């Protein structure tokens, strides 16, 4: 192992994580979560057309590989006259993907809230939307924290795919340094170690959040 290369490349890789991987993850997850909430509401709608649209979207996203979705947006859309730069392409692809998976998590969380909560909202004069926003979603949020946290952690690792459309995130930096030094094993293991540490920190934070939320649940 070339320790000099290891330490000299650590800085650029960490910079790639801070300036590329982490912002890409946060932006994509935030947008994906908003989209997921909209799709989840469509999925539980009594309107068959709305529910069908939500179901179709989820089916497309969950039934196709993320890499294909990424390539369709970056390499495919220019064929029909729509050209999007690498960073926006990556954010769009990851957001759409998160939206498809997180929508099912949120939908399941909403359905896990007892039906009586809906009835209670109706009894005090709330509309369906008011009941959803003020009573159902706060309870569903607690239930959805663990699976949504897992989705977020998975997204951190999935952002490495953005290197294939020339987005300069951490793995792209590792590829560039490896191509120059020809030390592929060292650089890829170094990148893997950084991903692992990031995910370990996130997993620890997730556990603490779950324990804190668990205090407010009657057993």
What is residue 1's predicted lDDT score, i.e. its pLDDT?
66
Mean pLDDT of 29-47: 94
Model confidence at 219, in pLDDT bands (50, 70, 90)? very low
**Confidence label for 129 from pLDDT (cuts 50, 70 and 90):** confident
63-87 core/surface letters (b: 16 or more CB in 10 A; e: else): eeebeebbbebbeeeeeeeeebebb
Q: Is the dihedral angle over the CA atoms 79, 82, 88, 91 positive or is it negative?
A: negative
Tokens encoding 86: 């690498």
Tens digit of pLDDT for each residue in 132-175?
A: 888 888 888 888 989 999 999 999 999 999 999 989 899 999 99
CA within 13 Å, CB half, 125: 0
Average pLDDT over all residues of the chain? 91
> pLDDT tens across 39-63, in order?
999 999 889 999 999 999 999 999 9
User: Which structure tokens are listed for 2?
Assistant: 């070339």
pTM (global) more than 0.85:
yes
Residue 195 gets which letter from DSSP? H
Please give the pLDDT value at position 167. 94
What token pair was written down for 96?
Answer: 């759409």
- Residue 218: is its pLDDT beyond 50? no
Closest CA to 38 of 119, 96, 91: 96
Distance CA 27, CA 102 (A): 15
- pLDDT tens by residue, 98-115: 999 999 999 999 988 888
CB 5 within 8 A of CB 66: no
Cβ(166)–Cβ(86) below 8 Å: yes
Cα–Cα–Cα angle for 168, 3, 172, rounded to 5 degrees: 10
pLDDT at 46 (0 to 100)? 87
Q: What is the percent of the chain where pLDDT is above 70? A: 97
d(CA 142, CA 214): 9
Residue 216 has pLDDT above 60, yes or no: no
CA atoms within 13 A on the CB side of 92: 16
> Binning pLDDT at 50, 70 and 90, where does residue 211 land?
confident
Return the closest-CA partner of residue 102 out of 46, 161, 57, 67: 57
């Amino acid at each position: 192992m070339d320790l000099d290369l290891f330490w000299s490349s650590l800085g650029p890789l960490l910079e790639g994580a801070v300036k590329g991987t982490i912002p890409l993850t946060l932006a994509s997850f935030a947008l994906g979560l908003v989209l997921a909430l909209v799709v989840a509401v469509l999925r539980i709608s009594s309107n068959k057309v709305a529910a069908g649209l939500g179901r179709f979207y989820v089916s497309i996203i969950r039934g196709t590989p993320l890499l294909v979705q990424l390539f369709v947006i970056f390499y495919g859309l220019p064929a029909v006259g729509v050209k999007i730069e690498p960073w926006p392409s990556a954010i769009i692809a990851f957001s759409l993907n998160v939206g498809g998976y997180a929508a099912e998590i949120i939908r399941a969380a909403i359905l896990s809230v007892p039906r009586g909560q809906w009835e209670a909202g109706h009894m005090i004069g709330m509309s369906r939307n008011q009941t959803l926003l003020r009573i159902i979603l706060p309870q569903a949020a607690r239930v959805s924290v663990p699976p949504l946290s897992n989705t977020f952690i998975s997204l951190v690792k999935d952002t490495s795919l953005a290197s294939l459309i020339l987005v300069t995130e951490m793995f792209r930096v590792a590829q560039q340094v490896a191509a120059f030094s020809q030390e592929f094993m060292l650089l890829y293991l170094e990148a893997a170690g950084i991903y692992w540490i990031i995910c370990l920190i996130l997993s620890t934070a997730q556990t603490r959040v779950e324990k804190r939320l668990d205090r407010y649940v009657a057993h």
